[in-house]
Chains A and B, each alone.
Chain A
């Protein structure tokens, strides 16, 4: 199947007084129809900047797309004028923002905010738009939709507001949905509901989803494929099972190891030492090397290319080079992976 979205060698930089901050430094990925790609990484790894670039939402200045292309259905978004872009934005590509408190307009009724896109993009009449808005609210699980349309955002709880934000994003049946930490601000129970709503809708509309999060539990729940970002680059990408059951990059090991599993362990968590690098002066070689227990001499000198692990699984670490010593992931990650397979076997029985 053809790719819905293809990002090639994307570089995004911000010009600040201190110098150029290279927030995204050469990112490649693609998303197919009906597929969910999760991007994980710490704050500052460039995951949000990447999605903002896809939407053409990088404020310029200081930001700029330095290099690369973003092909949406074969058309390069980076070369489009603002006017053309705004025809796609909100219609074919929609975004769910992290914070429902700030992404809704507090002075506008919720109904009008949902109808806005419908009237603008689909040239619907007001009454048609209202009908669709009602459907959407019901779709995302808001009861009393008729009444709720006339209310303002402050009359909604956090979870409800996020549902409204999702309804707005879905209004024009987008082909591509960008979700930037859509559930991070929510409680687990509401998070589970929202994720279910998103999956149902994806099934129905066959949209592609780019899902940004730092919660690996959520990733395991929603993703078909996962891209792990570190210091502005994708360091590992693969099917969700590859990333969780056969991770190859030390950073991915670190992320997996730092989450406690419900299988109780009294040992110390595997914490990644240090903090992410300063992207004004990205380190030479492998950006993760200074924090990695597995760094070799070459990691500090030369940047690793993407090594192919299997058909869809790639990782950028010298450990995969044929001359590299064979290394096992840290013990806590290994026991955890063993624990997982056992746990899931039990889960199947229940």
Chain B
């Protein structure tokens, strides 16, 4: 994998007003890069801001502060509609709920082709139809499905439609917001295999948002762990699972139930207590080991480095 940066996110903040005075800091100062061709996993419990992060990157929300550079250009400073369209072609999203994210009154053909229409990618009806059929076949559906409505499909098939729609404009970057959470286990594997296959064929880059940690580990190259709007740890997928440093990551990992009864019997859960942190200074996001970042104070960093197994 190249180390070319596709997306650079710096100091991204997304604050929502709550009532007259309150402010909810859903995303509070995120810094990370996504490399070309990789899958970046974003995990955390509900309400930690992982979905908001995805939605802010693709500009469904305007960021309160911060920059999102896509191929070196700032997405959030674009005002021109034409320019914005260009970004939208490059960035697409797959949503969590395959039931709510497809318009029930539109035929599959029109759902999938909507992006083509918006960007004027098909010169005539014949071509439009061809592209749609092609896309349907790519995601494991067929021509007959083009004339049906979403309610005629099962959950797994609908998620395939969502993927076909995202692929229609030939994007280079796809944000998948919990794309498999609503699906059955056996169907989850089908969709994940499909996403991996497409990545290999088209060189796609994914931001994969999920709370199912074992699936994230499986699909991601690097993983970021979020807690209350901040990223607390970022590392290679294997490194993160083998050598978690931040106590929150440890607690999250220790809570995953694994399909292994012997392991489950001996499992010890680790509870995270935010007050255990070193309070002497504001924690910062530091590179504790090469490519392994943790939100910590200097004292904590020394400790993490000392405790790091191997080497």
Residues of A with Cβ closer than 8 Å to B? 42-43, 158, 187-192, 195-196, 214-221, 223, 240-241, 244-245, 254-262, 264-265, 268-273, 275, 340-341, 343-344, 347-348, 350
Contacts and interface: CB of A to CB of B under 8 A. Distances in A.
Contacts of A269: 189, 192-193, 218
B256 A217 contact: yes
B275 interface: no
B237 interface: yes
B214 interface: yes
Question: Number of contact residues on B: which range applies?
Answer: 35 or more
Contacts, number: 131
A272 B186 contact: yes
Given A158-B46, A188-B252, A268-B193, A254 B266 contact: no
Interface stretch (B11-19, B76-84, B257-265, B287-295): B257-265
Contact of A340 (B156, B187, B260): B260
B107 interface: no
Interface of B is mostly: helix
B263 A270 contact: no
Contacts of B190: 271-273
B184 A262 contact: no
Contacts of A195: 257
Nearest to B211: A187
B96 to A, nearest CB: 13
A341 B259 CA distance: 12
Contacts of A191: 255, 257
Given A187-B46, A275-B154, A348-B266, A240 B186 contact: no
Given A220-B258, A259-B259, A262-B258, A347 B266 contact: yes
| Residue of A192, A244, A254, A273 contacting most chain B CB atoms (<10 Å) | A192
A217 B193 contact: no
B259 A219 contact: yes
Contacts of B256: 188, 217, 262
Nearest to A340: B260
| Residue of A221, A260, A343 contacting most chain B CB atoms (<10 Å) | A260
Contacts of B184: 42-43, 214
